[in-house]
Amino acid sequence: MSASIHPNPNDPRLSRSVTGIDEHGNARAIQVIEERPLTIYLNRQEIVTAMTIGDYPEYLALGFLLNQGMLTSEDHVTAIDFDPELEVVVVRTEHSTNVEDKLEKKTRTSGCAVGTVFGDMMAGLEGLSLPDTPVHTRTFYDLSYQINHTPSLYMETGAIHGTALCQGQQVLAYMEDVGRHNAVDKIAGWMHQNDVTAADKVLYTTGRLTSEMVIKTALMGIPTLISRSGFTAWGVDIAQQVGLTLIGRMRGKKFTCLSGQHRLVFDQDLAEVADDAPSMRRKGARGE
């Protein structure tokens, strides 16, 4: 996989070695993922403290604010300042914003590492129309193979989720984090900073297809969301409401599409796909 931006498994800040014993009672050293707090400010207002692995903090902060509706495409971001000692990111805009109402509606979600969303995110879905860009089954079988075989932090440590932004058979950006929602926010921030359009993109995630994942994908304007993991009922309901193509349980030849079936183009000869395609799950147990 030749994504233009991706995690660095060799970055010493992102994991460390811990020694324990294995099932035979022998000493064994393994790499464990680091987890650290990152406090996000919008101008002078503290918004939230998220638990994250610590890479790409600027993209995470920007994407979080965009996905929460605290920033819009009309807001001009003048600077994003990260202080590694204080573990604080400040996103600065040309004009002040009003986020007090959103902070009053703050709720806790099912996201790993305690996700946080704000009460009126659903309001952003009203009248939302996603583009009817076709998605070819040959394409996402290929993407699944690429992502499952690329070097990653998960391969080194486990206990982490990955999200990839794809166009056709190309992986444009790949992000990992302890929370799948953080990985999606990093993608959103990268897209905004690099003026990447969403209409012809696919989002591939290793995590559950929850309401939060569906909402964020839809608000980003991406019409198709794919995972090798399963669904939640509310996630499916929201996907059907907004017309998002929602594909889950993608393993080997198998997948299930519970929403947006009209975009699917069945052009993959299943005889050419392995019954049990290799996946990162064979390296260890990923929490879904």
Domains and CATH numbers, the chain: 36-119 (3.10.20.10), 135-283 (3.40.140.10)
Cα radius of gyration (the chain): 19
Q: What is the pLDDT of residue 279?
A: 41
CA distance 148 to 166: 14
- Is the pLDDT score of 119 beyond 90? no
CA distance 93 to 70: 11
Instruction: Determine how many CB atoms are found less than 10 A away from the CB of residue 249.
Output: 15
Bridge partners, 32 (sequence order)? 16
CA distance 280 to 52: 21
- Is the pLDDT score of 1 beyond 60? no
Q: Which amino acid is at 129?
A: S
The pTM of the full predicted model, rounded to 2 decimals, is 0.85
Q: Which residue has the higher pLDDT, 148 or 174?
A: 174
Q: Which residue has the higher pLDDT, 252 or 102?
A: 252
Reduced to 3 states (helix: H, G, I; strand: E, B; else coil), residue 61 is: helix
CA distance 77 to 93: 4
Closest C-alpha among 130, 255, 102 to residue 202: 130
Taking only the tens place, the pLDDT of each residue in 183-223 is 999 999 999 999 999 999 999 998 899 999 999 999 999 99
Q: What is the pLDDT of residue 252?
A: 85
CA distance 39 to 86: 9
Instruction: Determine how many CB atoms are found less than 10 A away from the CB of residue 234.
Output: 14
Mean pLDDT lowest for which of 2-11, 188-197, 222-231?
2-11
Q: What is the pLDDT of residue 154?
A: 67
Mean pLDDT on 147-160? 70
Bridge partners, 42 (sequence order)? 45, 91
CB 91 within 8 A of CB 41: yes
Token pair recorded at residue 9: 């498994």
Mean pLDDT lowest for which of 115-124, 169-178, 224-233, 257-266?
115-124
Q: What is the pLDDT of residue 262?
A: 97
Q: Outline where 78-232 has alpha helix (H).
A: 100-104, 137-148, 153-157, 180-193, 211-219
Token pair recorded at residue 46: 């503290």
Taking only the tens place, the pLDDT of each residue in 84-114 is 999 999 999 998 877 755 665 554 444 454 4
